[in-house]
Amino acid sequence: MFIGINGCSLKTNENLEVLRGIPVERMMIETDSPYCEIKNTHAGIQFVKSVWSSKKKDKYEPGSVVKGRNEPCLVRQVLEVVAGCKGIADIEGLSKILYHNTCRLFFPHDIDASANAQLESGTAVQDC
């Protein structure tokens, strides 16, 4: 079983407590765009480091996001909240584990066996 985490999963302190109890080896992250962005009122916002400028749809510029719409690139913010909430400093390592989880679920026959063995041996990024 895998559990998907998105911006709506990070609204309250209670949500963050639940997140802390989910093993990263059983987690996937997502945006659910165009909805479920992490808002300034969400408890998880304290861990967000990446921001993009936003423009109204009719004034869109490359490198910005459409104002009021969750964009796929904002999955980085979900990753930052998961890392911050769980006390994981190695965000790159965490992203690899979460990517690997996604591959295990959706592409089980294409997984690199050594990466799978590393996760199962417990030598991957650990929760603090």
- Residue 15 placed within a domain: yes
Q: CATH no. for residue 94?
A: 3.20.20.140
The model's pLDDT over 10-40, given as tens digits with 9 standing for 90+, comes to 999 999 999 999 999 999 999 999 999 999 9
128 pLDDT band, cuts 50/70/90, is: very low
**pTM for this predicted structure:** 0.84
Is residue 35 domain-resident? Answer: yes
For 67-106, letters b (16+ CB in 10 Å) and e give: eeebeeebbbbbbbbbbbbbebeebeebbbbbebbbbbee
Residue 104 domain flag: yes
Residue 61, in any domain of the structure: no
Residue pLDDT, tens place only, 46-94: 999 999 999 999 998 998 999 999 999 999 999 999 999 999 999 999 9
Band of pLDDT at residue 115, cut at 50, 70 and 90:
low
Domain tally for the chain?
A: 1
Residue 54 lies in a domain: no
